[in-house]
Amino acid sequence: MDSAKSLPVAVIGAGPVGLAAAAHLLERGLEPVIFEAGTTAGAAIERWRHIRLFSPWRFNLDAAAVRLLEPTGWESPRPTALPYGGELIDNYLAPLARVPQISSRLHTGARVTAVTRQGLDKTHVRNRDTTPFLVRVRHADGETRDHAVAAVIDASGTWSTRNPLGTSGLPAIGEEAAADRISSPLPDVTGRDRAQFAGRRVLVVGAGHSAANTLINLSALAKEEPDTRILWAVRGPSAEKVYGGGDADGLPARGQLGARVRRLVEAGKIELHTGFGINSLKALDSGVTVGAVDGRTLEADVVIPCTGFRPDLDILRELRLDLDPAVEAPVQLGPLIDPEFHSCGTVPPHGAKLLAHPEKDFYIVGMKSYGRAPTFLLATGYEQVRSVAAALAGDQDSADTVHLELPETGVCSTDAGSSCDVPLAAAAADATADSGCCASPEPVLVGFPTGLSHGRSGAST
Ligand SMILES: Cc1cc2nc3c(=O)[nH]c(=O)nc-3n(C[C@H](O)[C@H](O)[C@H](O)COP(=O)(O)OP(=O)(O)OC[C@H]3O[C@@H](n4cnc5c(N)ncnc54)[C@H](O)[C@@H]3O)c2cc1C
């Protein structure tokens, strides 16, 4: 990072990964300035504070953040316990945001609306690498100000940009007009949002962990409010992916989630509609009619969109990015996590090198670094920002020595010929693979195996 060394490093977002980035930058003697759109740190997780994480505390804490917290008398939670989102905030993120080294550098209510290079639009190359970045921020006082910084770490997550309900990547016809009938992606159906769902016809759309969590919580609501009807629409031919790897899942809580949903469907508590690709929504006084590509329709009072998320790339429009054309993750990372091929929950350890863009000293990290892929884990993000901070500080050796404290596993190997979940191009990029991704020795993968072997391409249609 040779541009304007006296300038700070902007961190966009004070989620767990943004705060961890700030902690690592401080350890490196660099000066972070953190812009958080919400009113508090962890604002996105605040929206799902009622959901339990499936990874235990020991994998949810960043080492540099813990080093900042310990002198304050903070007590580490029990490493094996599974926190709720709310506990992750109350017992970790909020205390971390209060540590003076962080709080003095954290701007809340500060939404980054654009990032560029000072005086240069995307087409200008002269002195580009040494020109400071300009980060445009809409602050809590309503004013928009430009901030000059030496580097930018975008840890803004994906929570605010959910995927549409429409099956083709676009909103279904009528989706915007039916907005009143569509809830947030992970509503607290038994708690603060209960009134919206109790005794209603609720349609859950999607086939991931969010859908599983929501379906289980709705079934608890239906026990107390028997008029509640639970409908579930998935685009694929079956719900097997949601039922998951069961006992083969490296995270038992995650495995149990799918198994519980399966039991609820089999017991008739949830009405499952497979192959239901949505192409239209029609809001009525009495509810909403949801239409499928094949002509089927479902009537509901409210729709819960568990359709996943995508990164907001608009704020990065003036930067030179190298993104995977499908996953919208940094180009070398994309193939390793592409949900089309990869659902095993593991990934080769990676850091600054893999996350780099043609735009020098700019990195996308955390949930946003996975683009449209849903398998991101905090532990992966913490290693990303450790490596990025080292790279920005000029410690290339440390930046390149990536080591994830997650179980090592080769579970990504599948029975699909000689192929792994990881497509060949990605495997070829991996230094440990000789030829093809299952060449000996196998690429070292780390993470918690889901017990699923293929991505979507392994499904029957
Ligand atoms: C329901 C759920 C359960 C999960 N469970 C687990 C689990 O068990 N284990 C695990 O390891 N991972 C889990 N994850 C995945 C992932 O770890 C979390 O999503 C985590 O919150 C990602 O952290 P982050 O810091 O990258 O992003 P976020 O937590 O999304 O933080 C991003 C922050 O940036 C802010 N922001 C957004 N846009 C802007 C902007 N333009 N300007 C300024 N600020 C902005 C947001 O307000 C937010 O505070 C889960 C995710 C979900 C949704």
pLDDT tens per residue, range 68-105: 999 999 999 999 999 999 999 999 999 999 999 999 99
Classify residue 438: in a domain, yes or no.
no
433 CA → ligand 1 middle, Å = 32
Q: Is 105 exposed, middle or buried (0-12, 13-18, 19+ CB in 10 A)?
A: middle
**Summary mean pLDDT of the chain:** 88
Whether residue 228 is found in the same domain as residue 292: yes
Strand duo 302-305 + 278-284: pairing: unpaired
> Which residue, of 400, 416, 431, is where some domain finishes?
400
> DSSP letters of 229-285?
EEEEE-SSS-SHHHHTTGGG-SSHHHHHHHHHHHHHHHTTSSEEETT--EEEEEEET
Whether residue 237 is found in the same domain as residue 379: no
Whether residue 295 is found in the same domain as residue 150: no
| Tally of domains in the chain | 2
Whether residue 294 is found in the same domain as residue 273: yes
Whether residue 126 is found in the same domain as residue 32: yes
d(CA 245, CA 256): 9
Residue 410's pLDDT is 46
425 CA → ligand 1 middle, Å = 29
For 215, the token pair is 């379906």
Ligand 1 atom at minimum distance from 16 CA = 25
Residue 375's pLDDT is 84
Q: 49 pLDDT band (50/70/90 cuts)?
A: very high
Residue 444's pLDDT is 61
Read off the pLDDT of residues 284-311 as tens digits, 9 standing for 90 and up: 988 999 999 999 999 999 999 999 999 9
Measured N-to-C along each axis, helices 252-266 and 209-224 cross at an angle, to the nearest 10 degrees, of: 50
With a CB cutoff of 8 Å and minimum separation 6, the contacts of 117 are: 124, 128, 131, 132, 133, 134, 318, 319
Indicate the DSSP class of residue 90. Answer: I
Ligand 1 atom at minimum distance from 368 CA = 26
Look at ligand 1, atom 10, and give the residue with the nearest C-alpha.
377
Whether residue 86 is found in the same domain as residue 155: yes
Distances (CA, A) of 214 to 183, 301, 397: 12, 16, 44
Read off the pLDDT of residues 331-350 as tens digits, 9 standing for 90 and up: 999 988 887 776 666 677 78
Q: 209 pLDDT band (50/70/90 cuts)?
A: confident
Residue 245's pLDDT is 66
Residue 145's pLDDT is 98
d(CA 335, CA 421): 10
Read off the pLDDT of residues 232-287 as tens digits, 9 standing for 90 and up: 999 999 998 788 766 667 777 777 888 999 999 999 999 999 999 999 999 998 89
Q: Which residue has the tokens 């086939």?
A: 207
Classify residue 442: in a domain, yes or no.
no
- Residue range of the domain that includes 218: 176-305
For 7, the token pair is 């300038």
Classify residue 410: in a domain, yes or no.
no
Q: HEC profile for 358-370?
A: CCCCEEECHHHHH
Please choose, from the candidates 315, 9, 312, the residue with its C-alpha nearest in 3D space to the C-alpha of residue 133: 9
Q: Pocket residues for ligand 1 (CB within 6 Å)? A: 12-18, 35-38, 42-45, 48, 51, 53-55, 111-112, 155-157, 159-160, 186, 210, 315, 366-367, 376-378, 381
90 CA → ligand 1 middle, Å = 15
Whether residue 280 is found in the same domain as residue 366: no
Look at ligand 1, atom 14, and give the residue with the nearest C-alpha.
377
How remote is the C-alpha of 23 from its chain's centroid? 20
Read off the pLDDT of residues 126-171 as tens digits, 9 standing for 90 and up: 999 999 999 999 999 999 999 999 999 999 999 999 999 999 999 9
> Which residue, of 347, 371, 400, is where some domain finishes?
400
Residue 446 has pLDDT above 90, yes or no: no
**321 or 6, higher pLDDT:** 321
How remote is the C-alpha of 333 from its chain's centroid? 14
Residue 448's pLDDT is 65
159 CA → ligand 1 middle, Å = 7
184 CA → ligand 1 middle, Å = 15
Q: What is the largest CA-CA distance in the chain?
A: 67
For the chain, give the percent of residues with pLDDT over 70: 85
Classify residue 411: in a domain, yes or no.
no
Whether residue 199 is found in the same domain as residue 347: no
Residue 177: phi, psi to the nearest 5? -65, -25
Look at ligand 1, atom 8, and give the residue with the nearest C-alpha.
53
316 neighbors 113 (Cβ within 8 angstroms): no
Range 46-58 average pLDDT: 92
Alpha helices in 70-120 (DSSP H): 85-88, 94-98, 100-103
Residue 445's pLDDT is 64
Q: Is 291 helix (H, G, I), strand (E, B) or coil?
A: strand
Read off the pLDDT of residues 365-413 as tens digits, 9 standing for 90 and up: 999 999 999 889 899 999 999 999 999 999 999 999 988 766 555 444 4
Q: What is the CATH number of the domain that holds 241?
A: 3.50.50.60
pTM, two decimals, is: 0.89
417 CA → ligand 1 middle, Å = 36
Ligand 1 atom at minimum distance from 213 CA = 1
Helix, strand, coil percentages (3-state) for the chain, rounded to 5, are: 30, 20, 50
Classify residue 45: in a domain, yes or no.
yes
Residue 434 has pLDDT above 60, yes or no: no
247 CA → ligand 1 middle, Å = 27
> Which residue, of 400, 415, 437, is where some domain finishes?
400
Whether residue 96 is found in the same domain as residue 212: no
Classify residue 316: in a domain, yes or no.
yes
Whether residue 152 is found in the same domain as residue 239: no
Whether residue 256 is found in the same domain as residue 331: no
Residue 402's pLDDT is 87
Classify residue 445: in a domain, yes or no.
no
Whether residue 299 is found in the same domain as residue 334: no
Q: 436 pLDDT band (50/70/90 cuts)?
A: very low
